[in-house]
Every structure is written in structure tokens, then in C-alpha cells.
Amino acid sequence: MKMNMKMKMKKLLVFISALAMSIMLLAGVCSAAASQGSNGKDKVAILLMGSNDFKSTQYFTMIENHFLKNNPHASQIVLGADIQSKYQEYWLDKGFLEEQQPTKDDLLAMPEYLGVDKVLVLIVKDPVVEKHFAFTLMESGEKSRASIQINAFLIDKEKILKSKVSNNEDDSFSSDLRAKRGAFKKCMKELSAEMLPLF
């Protein structure tokens, strides 16, 4: 009788241990899933650095059009005012009123600071605008040519996963601004093709 009792107790202990292990394993899986989206994709922030001229709604719309439009995982990508404000807070926490030139350590700190798995950092260099006389079948006059360079870095919580430099230019008879937008749009097309598969 005592032997039967001992055997039953042993079986019960084994069952409880197995149940506890299963619960712990399930909790780990749930925790990993929580840090990602419900579809298992990483949450990615797109952070724009550079002149305030490039932080207007029009430029963010161009980023959205290339990184979010027709993307089934668009809900896992965050960008815009909230992310930019959080980046400003990062420098305020460090004692600076303005954004500083980021170091590699600053970039690697971004995923955790912004509360995401990965960050795509887009550093827009000051554009170069040149004027020249040109004519086409439709119009002639002074034409603006804008050249833009964007240094892109895709970062997770441990390392820089990929870097890419995009240089593009565009022309406009009407304004410098339109030429800059055209060059920026070309950069977004190039960078989204390279970076999106790694999101």
C-alpha cells in the first residue's frame, strides 16, 4: 500500500514538473511573440536625421509611399512625429537642446530607446542645388538640379545589419524645392528596395 502511495506521489511530482516546464516554455514563446507583431514580424521604426527641411509632411509621405504602401507588414513599421520627438528626447536626456551628430553607440541605442526591434536610420546630407539654362520642346529657362545623398543604416539591438548610401539628383524648371523632392523620392525608391527585405 505504501509502495503504491509512493509511486503515485512520484508520478504526481513528475507530472507537476512537466506541467511547470510547459508553462515556462509557453511564457517564453508568448514573450517573444509580444516583442514582435502578431504576424511574427519585427517592429521597425524609421528615423529621419538631418535638416528640418526634410522633416515636413511631404517627405514623410514619400517614405510611407515606398515603405508602407502595398506592404502586408505595414502595421509593424512606425515613423513620423512620435518617433522624431522621442529621438529629440534622447538628446535632451543627454543634456543637449539640439540633435547632435550621432556616434555608432548612439545608433545602436536607438532600438531599445524607441521600444522597437529594429531601426532604419536615414541621415540626409545637405543637398547641393545647381542652376543652369536648359530648354526642351515644351519649355526653356533656368533649371534647378538638386543632388541628395542619404546614408541609411538598418540596426537591431546588437549591431548594424546593413548600410547603404543612396545618391540621386533631379531637375525642375519651377523650383529648387521640387528638384529636392524628386531626388529624395528616387532615394526612397532605391533604399526601400534594398532595406525592406531585411525588415
Digit-coded pLDDT (tens) for 31-67:
444 444 445 678 999 999 998 889 999 999 999 999 9
Share of the chain above pLDDT 70, in %: 77
pLDDT in the model for residue 6? 55
Q: Residue 52: its pLDDT value, please?
A: 87
pLDDT(181) > 90: yes
Given a cut of 60, is residue 14 above it in pLDDT?
no
Distance (Å, whole) CA 186 – CA 85: 26
Report helix, strand or coil for 125: coil
CA 35 and chain centroid, separation: 16
CA distance 161 to 147: 27
- Cβ atoms of 158 and 119 within 8 Å: the answer is no
Dist CA 196 CA 160 (whole Å): 15
Rounded Cα gap, residues 45 and 68, in angstroms? 12
At residue 17, the pLDDT reads 57
pTM score over 0.95: no
